[in-house]
Structure 1
Amino acid sequence: MFSKKHIIYSLMGVFFIGLTSCGHHEQEAARDDHFQVTDSLLNSLLVDTVKAADAKSEISLTGSVAPDETKMVKIFPMVSGVAQAVHVQLGDKVSKGQVLATLRSAEIAGFTRDLVASEADARSAKRALESTQDLYKSGLASQKDLEEAKADYQKAVAESARAGSVLSINKTNGKGYEVVSPLNGYIIDKNVTDNMQVRADNNQNMFTVADLSSVYILVNMYESDIAGVQVGDPVKITALAYPDKVFTGKIDKLFDVLDPDNKVMRARVKIDNPGNLLKPDMYADVKISAKTGVNLPAINANAVVFDNDKNYVIVVDGKAKVHIQPIKIAKRVENVAYISDGLKPGERVVASRQLYLYEALKD
């Protein structure tokens, strides 16, 4: 038989356990409610999906500006002579057909003489042919005489055409030989001055004219960087003259030889040059976004919350349900964070007001 006192103590224990159990369930419910947000709040937030991406690394290199070889012409003299007048200076903008310099040249006088003589020979040969044709019709000249007259006339005409072509290539203005620009562009190299003697057999050009509407960036890559750079990698370029302006392009060629002097391999980037801001031989800072071949989950770096030397994101579990998820960042490239631990592709993370949610959830 149980005493009355024992029964009372037993009932009190059950009641106490019941209260404790109810309090525990109420705390769990409160905690669950604490980790939930309303549909309207969730709908007002930006939610990004974690992507599986090839991780990239940013390689910082140096380079220099070079003219586009397809839009650059080196001008050599076709004749020897003395520079009578040089009309342009280094850096000048020139137009196609513009006279750059004039030479006094004895060769030009010889070309003019040859043209005059060949034209006179052609006229004389024509008269001889006409006379031979009349004699042939009268029976006073043979078929052989007629054929020879025709051949002499054809040779005279051909020589006149050759002399005319030579003179047209070596343009003159009556005062001398004209050196003209073959395209619109800028004088980026000049090796002639007034009264300077010029020889046609000299291997040094008089001028170099380049169209700078597009230019090359020649990038210096050390051996440790070669394996990480490929054709097609996007590139961002800045110059000392314009530190706030970013020029963009892609690697379009790799030169598979090392420079014997500085032990670097060159990569080439072709970029547009609006306003001709970039000049040949300018120094350039180059940042290449190179693929690493490692697939890692990727998110927008702005979605990351940094707290107490650790990184977190707010993960959306389901409808109006979120939680704090610690993550480890393998690397950041521009505004992309590559995650080594804590997230999987396909998961969803809050990308706006995440700091507000983080502070509310961690309390």
Structure 2
Amino acid sequence: MIGLVLILAAACDRDAPVTPPAGKPVSRAADGMVQLTDPEIVRAGIEVMTVKKEPFTFHREFPATVQANENELAEVTTLIRGRVVEVLVDVGKDVKKGERLALLDSTDLGMAEGAYLKSAARQHEAQLAFERAENLHEHRAISLAELQRREAEMKTARADAREASHRLALLGVPAQELQRLEREQTIRSDVAIRAPFAGRVIMRNITRGEVVETSRNCFTIADLSDVWVVANVPEKDVRFVRPKDRVHVMVPAYPHGLFSGTVTYISDVLDPSTRTMRVRVTVLNPDRTLKPEMFAMVRVFASPQPEALAVPLTAVQQDGTGKLLFVRRPDNRFESRRVLLGDELDGKALVLEGLHEGEDVVVKGAFAIKSEFDIHKIEPTP
């Protein structure tokens, strides 16, 4: 009798359900979903949000540098070799068009002015000789051949004088200096280096006493009222940049400043070594805030999408084949949903496929749910 009781008791123990230890959560997973208890949800810090369609405008940012507007940039050289007598401006000075930047003493200029005075004197002499010959020919005192010879000499002297005048002009001698030279008949060997337009001196490369050649870049003048910001755009982002687009420019020197610019040039050829496209943005700079060679970032905005679904990047999980989101269902069930994502902006990703408006998506604690799926090896819903 006692033996029969023991056998029945053992059979009852074998058929009875095993009760889990107190405090351990019970998780059930099936059909592409995992079910969690309320304590498990709290411990995992799971939070959800209801997704809805809203306007979505994303942007791209590209590294760039500030450069002077090359259309308003001049490298000032001297047109004649000479010794520097005086430097009249320094770096950072604003100059007007035609303002003197430096004075040179040039023996070449003195020789050119002397040649001009001699040619002018020969022209005057030849002109008088021709006029006398005309008078003598009228009275039949000289032959026609002599008159023609005097006329040829006059024309030759006139051409020589014109050539000497043009040479002075090529050396940068202004018209008023030629008038002074004719009036005073006095040679001056000093020549001025002048500003070609109004701007700011951003480079100086001469000192007093040295001899400068015509190949020397003595000054660089730039009009910095507007500047170029040149960016390098990766090949994958070329589609986002369009001519005449309005963009934003940011520079580390002014972390809270935002400058507006316009895309004025897009290269037709990519750099083969970096696979980037050169883009030029013109930015107004009336206060001279932007300096050449500053580092910058160019922010380009894509076409806005009036209705789009976007989720925080914290909601996105990755498995071996793609991106996953977890959608909450009734009774604390969470569905694994495979999605196709688009562009990202400010910590959000655009959802192109796999999600519908009004669904509740896990935005925090998604990794804990993914771990539960990994334990049970449940395939996500396509």
**TM-score higher than 0.5:** yes
Counterparts of 1:198-277 in structure 2 under 5 Å?
Answer: 198-200=212-214, 202=215, 204-258=216-270, 264-277=276-289
CA deviation profile, 1:221-253 (whole Å, cap 9, x unmatched): 234433433323331012233333321122221
Shift of 1:276: 2.1
1:275 partner SS: coil
2:209 partner SS: coil
Shift of 1:257: 4.2
Tell whether the 8 Å contact from 2:57 to 2:305 is kept in structure 1 after alignment.
no
Tell whether the 8 Å contact from 2:240 to 2:301 is kept in structure 1 after alignment.
no
Shift of 1:56: 5.1
Map of 1:96 onto structure 2: 97
Q: Distance in 1 between matches of 2:144 and 2:275?
A: 76
Q: TM-score, normalised by structure 1?
A: 0.63
Amino acid at match of 1:125: A
Tell whether the 8 Å contact from 1:296 to 1:338 is kept in structure 2 after alignment.
no
Counterparts of 1:1-363 in structure 2 under 5 Å?
Answer: 57-168=58-169, 169-171=171-173, 174=188, 176-200=190-214, 202=215, 204-258=216-270, 264-291=276-303, 296-298=305-307
1:121 partner SS: helix
Tell whether the 8 Å contact from 1:298 to 1:338 is kept in structure 2 after alignment.
no
Shift of 1:71: 1.4
Q: Distance in 1 between matches of 2:244 and 2:302?
A: 9
Map of 1:346 onto structure 2: none
Q: TM-score, normalised by structure 2?
A: 0.60
1:276 partner SS: coil
1:274 partner SS: coil
Shift of 1:260: 7.1
Amino acid at match of 1:137: E
Amino acid at match of 2:172: N
**Compared CA separation, residues 193 and 260, structure 1 to 2 (3 A):** farther
**Compared CA separation, residues 261 and 103, structure 1 to 2 (3 A):** farther
**Structure 1 runs not aligned, ≥5 long:** 1-49, 310-327, 344-363
The count of corresponding residues between Structure 1 and Structure 2 is 265
**Compared CA separation, residues 232 and 114, structure 1 to 2 (3 A):** same
Greater alpha carbon shift after TM alignment, 60-69 vs 221-230: 221-230
Tell whether the 8 Å contact from 1:74 to 1:208 is kept in structure 2 after alignment.
yes
CA RMSD between the two structures: 3.6
Tell whether the 8 Å contact from 2:250 to 2:259 is kept in structure 1 after alignment.
yes
2:127 partner SS: helix
Q: Distance in 1 between matches of 2:90 and 2:221?
A: 11
Amino acid at match of 1:63: A
Q: Distance in 2 between matches of 1:342 and 1:141?
A: 113
Shift of 1:160: 2.0
Amino acid at match of 2:157: A
**Compared CA separation, residues 159 and 243, structure 1 to 2 (3 A):** farther
Tell whether the 8 Å contact from 1:298 to 1:339 is kept in structure 2 after alignment.
no
Map of 1:351 onto structure 2: none
Shift of 1:339: 8.2
Q: Distance in 1 between matches of 2:160 and 2:288?
A: 46
Q: Distance in 2 between matches of 1:139 and 1:111?
A: 41
**Structure 2 runs not aligned, ≥5 long:** 1-52, 178-187, 316-339, 358-382
Greater alpha carbon shift after TM alignment, 182-191 vs 242-251: 242-251
CA deviation profile, 1:194-222 (whole Å, cap 9, x unmatched): 1122112x3x4111111111111111223
Q: Distance in 1 between matches of 2:356 and 2:146?
A: 103
**Compared CA separation, residues 154 and 57, structure 1 to 2 (3 A):** farther
Tell whether the 8 Å contact from 1:118 to 1:160 is kept in structure 2 after alignment.
yes
Amino acid at match of 2:123: A
CA deviation profile, 1:146-179 (whole Å, cap 9, x unmatched): 2332232233223223323333443388461110
Q: Distance in 1 between matches of 2:173 and 2:139?
A: 47
Q: Distance in 1 between matches of 2:290 and 2:95?
A: 17
